[in-house]
Structure 1
Amino acid sequence: MERILRLLNGSEDIGRGLPYWAIFAAVLALFIAVPLYLSEFAAYNVSFYLLNIPMALGLCILWGYCGTLSFGQVAYFGVAGYAYGIIAGNLINHPLGTLIGSIGGIIAAMVLAGIFGYFVFFARVQTWIVPILTLVLTLLLETFLGQTAGYQWRVGTVQLGGYNGMTGIPSFQLGSYVFSGYAFFYFVLAIVTVSYLLCRALVNSSFGKVLLAIREDALRTETLGYDIRVRQWIAFVLAAALAGLSGLLYVQWGNYITPSQVGLLAAALPVIWVAVGGREKLLAAVIGTYALNWINYKLSSSGNQYALVITGTLLVAVMLFFPRGLVVSLFDLVARIPAKRRAHGE
């Protein structure tokens, strides 16, 4: 227990100590109390803002801590979502069909990432080429899924649907209990909270320290006896699993998925969320992802056609003036205030 607390309270993320955890508990309590001040429909929308956070956490670990940028996270997001739809759709009458589908979706995403990552990292592909390769993977997947409109593209009783997408995907359920409304909101909240805490423990562990060393100087880390290829591969597969988790929550939220969810625009969004918040800190990625999803949803739902333009402009502004990310820069500013006061003898 002491080791877990030490990992959670490590220095590789924003905040630690009693004040931080008191604020963390207060924010979590605010989310738990959502039924007191939001309707069931509004809480369902909040679920949408939250469900992309695991994908952002995975990219943060891979890019911010390991130093490998990937535009392919939505590929694993889509593979997990489609795999879940196929498995759960064919086990619609099975009491554990959606649970089996969820496990199958995560495994499918990890297998794809494991195979792809093996050829990328063990072939020692240069770091700057990885974003291009992952983007190509995403575009190939979108193109393939878009060509599956015919009746021959059926797996069991489930039709892939081509560019119209797969519809009628079952919501998550255990036995006869279907997770919808407030229940689904709490389901997503629990998964996101656990994902964040586990990722926080990971980056503060010895494995996380090695990832940071790889980011700073891969060659020197390798000369110290660490097999950087294995660790990069593990981080790559872990990021894919987290992206797959977001994919599962998405199809369980909307009960559909289309090839556009793995397209070029979708591939850029996780990078924007993490970059705007701050790729070097998990909490910054969480805040950036939630805030930008909220902003984009509000603008889109109000009929504003410039939602993506505004998001892109925000990214450019942050990269120019806050290269470490808006949230990280803000926390750094707040942290410097006590130091300045001590320097002036206040």
Structure 2
Amino acid sequence: MQKLNEMRVALICAVIAAAGVIAAPYYIDLFQIMQLTVFAAMAVLALSLGFIWGYGGILSFGQTSFFGLGAYAYAVAAINFGDSTGAIVMAILIPVIFAALLGYFMIYGGVSDVYLGVITLTVSLILFNLVNSTAGDFYKIGDARLGGFNGMPAIPTFNMPGDPGYILSPEQAWTVTGLALIVVYIGLRVLIASTFGRIIIAIRENETRAALLGYDPRFYKLLTFMIGGAIAGFAGALYVNWGAFVSPTIFALGLSAQIIIWVIIGGRGTLIGPVIGCLLMQWMVTAIGGQQALDANFILGAILIVFVLLVPKGIAPTVVDLVKSRLPKAKSDTANSNAKVKA
């Protein structure tokens, strides 16, 4: 019953958020809409790590691998297909296949959690150097030149499905990206509430016990890893659509660290936490970038230290704990007031 009530609340909040997304272009100027679009795309990326780490217990330092692969897959497919619909499919499919292959060798190979993080980080660095070395006309897929360190400019952005000539405006692109964030969030909530979700949480808590109950931890961890890769790849497509440009920096180590910071600050073991952490930190970085007095990386590092020391659970779990701690007192006060009235 509690889970059902929580899901109802989540759905109500999602409907309200969707209404806000649709109404935003009527009240916010174009510059702010563009900022919100990239924030929402990165929040989808944060959800990918929030899911596999917070619920699957898999700490991946290389979510940028799937993010970058999704971005490049979208760019190459959009240029060759001339349509964004098939490009979005490729942006999800390529990272899923890569996650399946990489995850199979790591998870079924018995790689421990620490080394799994190191391997995923190394893969991101390899992809960064690999794509960075693709300058020249020789490195192209179909009509799409990879561009090396210069990146791929003038990438076709989202169009109306089935009508490549109808290119979405920035306001429409924001609506698509904002609603995509909500759909991914609700989809993950439903998945976690399902039998699959309960199994991966059980494996996270005690892998040996789950295996004794008849579940194969390797199989479920691999599926979790693949789902995280699919979401990160989708986020890459959303990101490329925002700027119509992609470069090897999308695989950079700095972004990998930022994703982990978003999840830690927002709260691991929740879905809304990574979204809050991402939106808050992205807003702060943007605000700090508008002045020259403070270094953004210094501020991010200081905030991370403060949260690790003072708010180790993150924002979302801490707020929930505070609310729950107040509820018994509120119920007790209400009961005492009712007793006095009856007396």
TM-score normalised by L of structure 2: 0.91
For 2:22, the aligned partner's letter is: I
1:274 aligns with 2:263: yes
1:265 aligns with 2:264: no
Q: Deviations over 1:309-343 (max 9, x none)?
A: 21222112111111111221122112211123445
Which one is further off, 151-160 or 275-284? 151-160
Over 3 Å counting, the alpha-carbon distance change for 1:304 and 1:115 in structure 2 is: farther
Over 3 Å counting, the alpha-carbon distance change for 1:17 and 1:149 in structure 2 is: closer
1:194 aligns with 2:183: yes
Which of 102, 114, 134 aligns to 2:100? It is 114
1:103 aligns with 2:89: yes
Which one is further off, 161-170 or 233-242? 161-170
Q: Measure, in 2, the Cα distance between the counterparts of 1:196 and 1:19.
A: 13
Alignment of 1:305-344 (within 5 A): 306-342=295-331
Over 3 Å counting, the alpha-carbon distance change for 1:146 and 1:212 in structure 2 is: same
Alignment of 1:133-148 (within 5 A): 133-148=119-134
For 1:103, the aligned partner's letter is: V
Q: Measure, in 2, the Cα distance between the counterparts of 1:310 and 1:253.
A: 26
Corresponding residue for residue 3 of structure 1: none
Alignment of 1:7-22 (within 5 A): 10=3, 16=6, 22=12
Over 3 Å counting, the alpha-carbon distance change for 1:122 and 1:26 in structure 2 is: same
What secondary structure sits across from 2:3 in the alignment?
coil
Q: Measure, in 2, the Cα distance between the counterparts of 1:240 and 1:178.
A: 27
1:213 aligns with 2:202: yes
Q: Measure, in 1, the Cα distance between the counterparts of 2:229 and 2:32.
A: 29
Q: Measure, in 2, the Cα distance between the counterparts of 1:27 and 1:89.
A: 33
Q: Deviations over 1:95-140 (max 9, x none)?
A: xx22111111211111111100000111111112111010001000
Contact 2:151 2:245 in 1 (8 A): yes
What secondary structure sits across from 1:33 in the alignment?
helix
What stretches of structure 1 of length at least 5 have no aligned partner?
A: 1-5
Corresponding residue for residue 213 of structure 2: 224
Contact 2:14 2:186 in 1 (8 A): no
Q: Measure, in 1, the Cα distance between the counterparts of 2:234 and 2:241.
A: 11
Contact 1:179 1:187 in 2 (8 A): no
CA-based RMSD: 2.0
Q: Measure, in 1, the Cα distance between the counterparts of 2:281 and 2:250.
A: 17
Instruction: Give the C-alpha shift of residue 202 in structure 1.
Output: 0.6
User: How many pairs does the alignment contain?
Assistant: 332
Contact 2:270 2:316 in 1 (8 A): no
Flag as ranges the 4+ runs of structure 1 deviating above 6 A.
none
Contact 1:41 1:181 in 2 (8 A): no
Over 3 Å counting, the alpha-carbon distance change for 1:126 and 1:28 in structure 2 is: same
Corresponding residue for residue 292 of structure 1: 281
Which of 80, 102, 118 aligns to 2:70? It is 80
For 2:237, the aligned partner's letter is: L
Which of 53, 60, 65 aligns to 2:55? It is 65
Larger radius of gyration: 2
Which one is further off, 285-294 or 304-313? 304-313
Q: Deviations over 1:19-44 (max 9, x none)?
A: 66555544443332212321123212
Corresponding residue for residue 250 of structure 1: 239
Q: Measure, in 2, the Cα distance between the counterparts of 1:223 and 1:184.
A: 48
For 1:33, the aligned partner's letter is: A
Corresponding residue for residue 160 of structure 1: 146
For 2:125, the aligned partner's letter is: L
For 2:39, the aligned partner's letter is: Y
Which one is further off, 45-54 or 246-255? 45-54
Identity %: 31
For 1:118, the aligned partner's letter is: Y
Contact 1:62 1:69 in 2 (8 A): yes
What stretches of structure 2 of length at least 5 have no aligned partner?
A: 337-343
Instruction: Give the C-alpha shift of residue 18 in structure 1.
Output: 6.0
Over 3 Å counting, the alpha-carbon distance change for 1:110 and 1:56 in structure 2 is: same
Q: Measure, in 2, the Cα distance between the counterparts of 1:333 and 1:23.
A: 20
Q: Measure, in 1, the Cα distance between the counterparts of 2:138 and 2:7.
A: 58
For 2:24, the aligned partner's letter is: V
TM-score normalised by L of structure 1: 0.90
Q: Measure, in 2, the Cα distance between the counterparts of 1:165 and 1:264.
A: 17
